């Protein structure tokens, strides 16, 4: 008799049960993305956008969008996006 009920990976379970207060919706995330890109480029270690990082860590679609925007804003401003992108990658991995 099989009692194997773990269809979900540990990672999926963690994402679903993650405590995410205050939670941002994808729409909120999108609305804040310009500000977020500028903040994270100015100080990659910023905790000012904590809820945004929480959302990005759980939402690959928004994380991808944010990375593209950060790269674009950095290029426009002539700054190095590497530290900010590293911070975003760290956020995804939790």
CB closer to Zn ion out of 24 and 81: 24
d(CA 89, CA 13): 20
Residue 32: CB minimum distance to Zn ion, A: 11
Residue 5: CB minimum distance to Zn ion, A: 29
Under 8 Å between Cβ of 91 and 60: no
Under 8 Å between Cβ of 70 and 85: yes
CB closer to Zn ion out of 40 and 62: 62
Residue ranges binding Zn ion (CB under 5 A): 26, 29, 59, 62
Residue 22: CB minimum distance to Zn ion, A: 14
Under 8 Å between Cβ of 59 and 88: no
CB closer to Zn ion out of 50 and 80: 50
CB closer to Zn ion out of 25 and 82: 25
Under 8 Å between Cβ of 41 and 84: yes
Under 8 Å between Cβ of 40 and 87: yes
Residue 6: CB minimum distance to Zn ion, A: 26
């Amino acid at each position: 008799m099989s009692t194997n009920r773990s269809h979900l990976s540990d990672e999926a379970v963690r994402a679903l049960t993650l405590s995410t207060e205050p939670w941002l919706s994808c729409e909120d995330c999108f609305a804040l993305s310009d500000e977020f890109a500028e903040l994270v480029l100015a100080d990659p270690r910023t905790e000012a956008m904590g809820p945004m990082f929480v959302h990005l860590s759980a939402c690959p679609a928004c994380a991808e969008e944010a990375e593209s925007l950060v790269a674009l804003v950095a290029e426009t401003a002539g700054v190095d996006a590497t530290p900010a992108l590293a911070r975003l990658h760290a956020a995804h991995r939790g």
